[in-house]
Amino acid sequence: MLGLMLSACGAPVSRPMLPAQGPVGFERDGVGYVAEVQGDALAVSRGGVAFGNYEGLAAKRAGETYCANAGRRLNPQAYGHFVSGAWMFKGGCV
């Protein structure tokens, strides 16, 4: 029985690929956002009105939605920083 359990744990898991580049539009609670994977970071901006430097939590929630739509989750230890109306989350979707 143990052998069966171990072999099941070693099975490869297929995950959807995230866009390597280019902005991707999506919605959360009726608000439009744009996410872009930039290396190992996820950039999140709001359509129409730029984020303020005090809106990190709203941007992180939007990033969580983007990652969930791709079958992943936002890195729980993602460190966000504000850059010109957008929030960058180091670690991106995992």
The predicted model scores a pTM of 0.77
Rounded Cα–Cα distance for residues 14 and 90 (Å):
23
Domain ranges of the chain: 19-90
Q: What is the pLDDT of residues 29-75, one digit of tens each?
A: 999 999 999 988 999 999 989 999 999 999 999 999 999 999 999 99
Q: What is the pLDDT of residues 35-47, one digit of tens each?
A: 999 988 999 999 9
Length of the chain: 94
